A and B are shown apart, each in its own frame.
Chain A
Amino acid sequence: MEDNTRIRIEDLSVIFGRRKKDAKKMLQQNKSKEEILKETGCTVAVNKVNFNIQEGEIFVVMGLSGSGKSTLIRCVNRLLVPTEGRVVVDEDDILTAEESRLRELRRKKFGMVFQNFGLLPHRTVASNVAFGLEIQGMSEEERMKKAYDVINTVGLQGYEEKMTGQLSGGMQQRVGLARALANDPPVLLMDEAFSALDPLIRANMQDELLDLQERVQKTIIFITHDLDEALKLGDRIAIMKEGYIVQNGTPEDILTNPADDYVKAFVEGVDRSDIVTAGTIMIENPTFVDGKKDGAEMILRKMNQAGVNILPVVDERDKFMGFVTDQDTSRLRKKEVNSIRDIIHDHSASVYEDATVAEIIPIFRDTSFPIAVVNKDNKLKGVVIHSAVVKEVVGREEKEIEQIIKEGYKI
């Protein structure tokens, strides 16, 4: 475990209802949510959740409504007291903290942004933004100065003295964001912060959040029900379902290795080309031609074994040189060409492992060869073939695609 863990959540459970004790006992016996509901009438909103959040990352918790994600985020700053478990932020155990210490933490450590903004309708934009500072007892002059600065950061200059009700939804959420940023907290809690905005403004705000994150480097917990948003923003994503975390991983993990059918159902239909990288879809440890040693016979043999008609060539230090085709090799064998050097197509493209599918597609337009995947030293790591890319783009299985290619595309 890396040392820069900022927030640790351990075995966190939240139960709503009257007979919490019984429900808690049943939960410890690993009874299911339905059983507990039936027996005690209690709802298990969050069910033994565990995760760590690293400094400076955007951790997205995604799930449909009722999955417990909003309940979960409220436990982090104890707006809601969980039934069981621990929440540790830096050195503080949030759930056992004294009331005064908790207030202190909320003032200094957390900034929270809400789905419905939660702005004070009787105050101006600037005074809303300064609210957190006012609570801390900062002087009027000082807090207003800070508020104006932050309002600038979120691009609302000129609206400082407007009442919040006069602003559009997107602007109101900027105010919400500015208010959360005003006391410069290390941790941002964003509860469906962009869900109430219309799509265009939402995309806009997402971009700005990423922009902002690059500048200010906060630790962000972001709640959303929108997978596209999760994939766009998240360094890591936890998918919740009925109080459980079903899967916790990087966006690419989630897309390429969905933990179960639930996640799979989510992931279907997502535009993956921006997320899936060459490293994931390449054929690792491919058969290759040793440019120094192998002759025509050896190359043809290798092609035969691998069942392909194109192979990558590397030099003695494993550096990628280009591709050879079976036709050219045949010509070499018939001595129409002198050396293997002459048949290497050394203009073929190579990419790094972290190139996304979206970046690879245009390269394929210009070449009929596969694409070599190399590391920074130009050493061959793998090969990306056409069908793997097509599979990512259309979201179908490889066999299906091969069949389509073979039979021609019938509509």
Chain B
Amino acid sequence: MMIIAMKFLGKSVEKGINWLSVAAGGFFDGITAGVDALVETLQTILLFPHPLVMMVIIAALGYYASAKNYKLLSREGWKAGRFLTLFIFFGLLLLERRMLLKIVDTVVMEFDYWYIIALILVIFIPGYQYYKKAKKSGLFSKSGFEAGGKFKHPIQFVVLLLAFLFLSKKYVGLIVMQQSYWEDTMLTLALVVASALLALVIGIPLGIWASRSDRVEGTVRPILDFMQTMPPFVYLIPAILFFSVGNVPGVVATVVFSLPPGVRLTNLGIRGVQPNVVEAARSFGSSDRQLLYKVQLPLAKPTILAGVNQVIMLALSMVVIASMVGAAGLGQAVYKGILTADVALGFEAGLGIVLVAILLDRVSQEIGNTERKSEE
């Protein structure tokens, strides 16, 4: 009978959480206000300009990230940055239905034979490329075909096919979404950026601290393990108790979930700096601070940026889950799709998340990339 009288593990934790939400209410209110302000500001900024302007800005960011190792406006720069830039622009355009339709209306107009021109384009562009490459070795010889017969990138073909669909009034519906997801996308972006920012502001210094002391690392590591293996949904429950519903519990749960790789990879990066370089720096009289800023952080940068990338990606995946507690954005649409078994809505919103994921992943990876692409 003793056992009945005892509190069980889950109950004890619940009691503790309840007590905390009351006792530290002011503290949590402060966090709520702060996080709310951050998210709102980001949302306002992202939604303030005309969508087309925002698309160009984000695409330009992508261009800068991938072309920064070259002269920005040179041929090489464009070669390195064009894919990501165009991808971001058209991807975002796809999510902004109103703009897309407006463009379709303007370009396609009432002219029903545009698809013929489009078809000609599809034939002409590859044909021209073939001609250029194959003319030296004879257009219709075997070697000519070998030289020019293949598309350089299969992507080119896909793009041309899309252009064809886009330009034909009959088939344009195949690539236009049933509703506009622009606001949702920008809200998701704001949540991800806010969460990732907070996770990095906490995670990187923690990682630095852990890299300097084995004891801190030994303490932090099991906590991180716990944070990473606990199913992410579970964080939502205390988050509601502390922060009620809305964006804030979503952001807090996201921060908790996406924190570990930032800490881990910062720690790993700094510890992985060649000991002889650190020793040399110390032998010239570096203070701890100089050592950190002039040697360890610059050398650990690639690893730390890999951590930043991971944090961002985890934040995105969690932001979708966080829609269960009322966080705004594409996740909300996915969630609605689940509740109403609406495949169309689910797929479109899901595709939006994929686009945002690719955008965030590529841009954050390119930022850390300092090497020029090797010449082919």
Please give the residue numbers on chain A whose beta carbons come within 8 Å of chain B beta carbons, in ascending order: 77, 79, 103-108, 110-112, 114-122, 131-132, 134-136, 179, 183, 189
Given A106-B285, A119-B277, 11 additional A-B pairs, CB 8 A = A105-B285, A107-B285, A108-B285, A112-B283, A117-B276, A119-B280, A120-B277, A120-B281, A120-B295, A131-B281, A135-B287
B299 to A121, Cβ gap below 8 A?
A: yes
Specify which of B280, B282, B285, B290 is in contact with A104 (CB 8 Å cutoff): B285
How many residues does chain B have at the interface if contact means C-beta atoms less than 8 Å apart? 17
Q: Assuming A120-B295, A122-B299, is B280 touching A112 (CB within 8 A)?
A: yes
Contacts of A136 in B (CB 8 A): 285
> How long is the Cα–Cα vector from A108 to B285 in the complex, in angstroms?
9
B285 to A135, Cβ gap below 8 A?
A: yes
Number of A-B contacts (CB under 8 A): 63
Contacts of A119 in B (CB 8 A): 277, 280
Q: Is B284 at the interface (CB under 8 A from chain A)?
A: yes
A135 to B286, Cβ gap below 8 A?
A: yes
Q: Is B294 at the interface (CB under 8 A from chain A)?
A: yes
> How long is the Cα–Cα vector from A110 to B276 in the complex, in angstroms?
17
Q: Is B49 at the interface (CB under 8 A from chain A)?
A: no
Chain B at the A interface: mostly helix, strand, loop or mixed? helix
21 A-B residue pairings within 8 Å (CB atoms):
A77-B283, A103-B286, A106-B284, A107-B284, A107-B285, A110-B283, A111-B284, A114-B280, A118-B274, A118-B279, A118-B280, A120-B294, A120-B295, A120-B298, A121-B299, A131-B294, A132-B284, A134-B294, A135-B281, A135-B284, A135-B290
Contacts of B299 in A (CB 8 A): 120-122
A118 to B276, Cβ gap below 8 A?
A: yes
**Most chain B CB inside 10 Å of its own CB: which residue of A117, A118, A121, A132:** A118
Q: How far is the CB of B294 from chain A (nearest CB, A)?
A: 7
Q: Which 6 A-B pairs have the closest CB atoms?
A: A118-B280, A107-B285, A106-B285, A112-B283, A132-B284, A118-B276
Least CB separation from A136: chain B residue: B285
CB under 8 Å from chain A, chain B span 274-313:
274, 276-277, 279-287, 290, 294-295, 298-299
> How long is the Cα–Cα vector from A132 to B286 in the complex, in angstroms?
8
B277 to A132, Cβ gap below 8 A?
A: no
A79 to B287, Cβ gap below 8 A?
A: no
> How long is the Cα–Cα vector from A87 to B286 in the complex, in angstroms?
21
Q: Assuming A118-B277, A118-B279, A118-B280, is B294 touching A103 (CB within 8 A)?
A: no
Q: Assuming A122-B298, A122-B299, is B277 touching A131 (CB within 8 A)?
A: no
B285 to A132, Cβ gap below 8 A?
A: yes
Contacts of A134 in B (CB 8 A): 294
Least CB separation from B278: chain A residue: A118
Specify which of B274, B282, B295, B298 is in contact with A79 (CB 8 Å cutoff): B282
Contacts of A189 in B (CB 8 A): 283
Least CB separation from B276: chain A residue: A118
> How long is the Cα–Cα vector from A183 to B284 in the complex, in angstroms?
9
> How long is the Cα–Cα vector from A25 to B311 in the complex, in angstroms?
51
Q: How far is the CB of B84 from chain A (nearest CB, A)?
A: 25
**Most chain B CB inside 10 Å of its own CB: which residue of A106, A114, A119, A120:** A120
Contacts of B281 in A (CB 8 A): 118, 120, 131, 135
**Most chain A CB inside 10 Å of its own CB: which residue of B285, B287, B290, B295:** B285
Q: How far is the CB of B300 from chain A (nearest CB, A)?
A: 11
> How long is the Cα–Cα vector from A189 to B285 in the complex, in angstroms?
14
Q: How far is the CB of A213 from chain B (nearest CB, A)?
A: 20
Least CB separation from A112: chain B residue: B283
Contacts of A115 in B (CB 8 A): 276
A131 to B284, Cβ gap below 8 A?
A: yes
Contacts of A179 in B (CB 8 A): 284
**Most chain A CB inside 10 Å of its own CB: which residue of B280, B294, B295:** B280
Q: How far is the CB of A175 from chain B (nearest CB, A)?
A: 11
B284 to A112, Cβ gap below 8 A?
A: yes
> How long is the Cα–Cα vector from A364 to B299 in the complex, in angstroms?
62
> How long is the Cα–Cα vector from A115 to B279 in the complex, in angstroms?
12
Contacts of A111 in B (CB 8 A): 284
Contacts of B283 in A (CB 8 A): 77, 79, 106, 110, 112, 189
Least CB separation from A103: chain B residue: B285
Contacts of B290 in A (CB 8 A): 135
Least CB separation from B277: chain A residue: A118
> How long is the Cα–Cα vector from A120 to B299 in the complex, in angstroms?
8
A114 to B282, Cβ gap below 8 A?
A: no
Contacts of A105 in B (CB 8 A): 285
Q: How far is the CB of A221 from chain B (nearest CB, A)?
A: 13
Contacts of A110 in B (CB 8 A): 283
Least CB separation from B295: chain A residue: A120
> How long is the Cα–Cα vector from A105 to B282 in the complex, in angstroms?
12
Contacts of B277 in A (CB 8 A): 118-121
CB under 8 Å from chain A, chain B span 33-52:
none
> How long is the Cα–Cα vector from A18 to B286 in the complex, in angstroms?
28
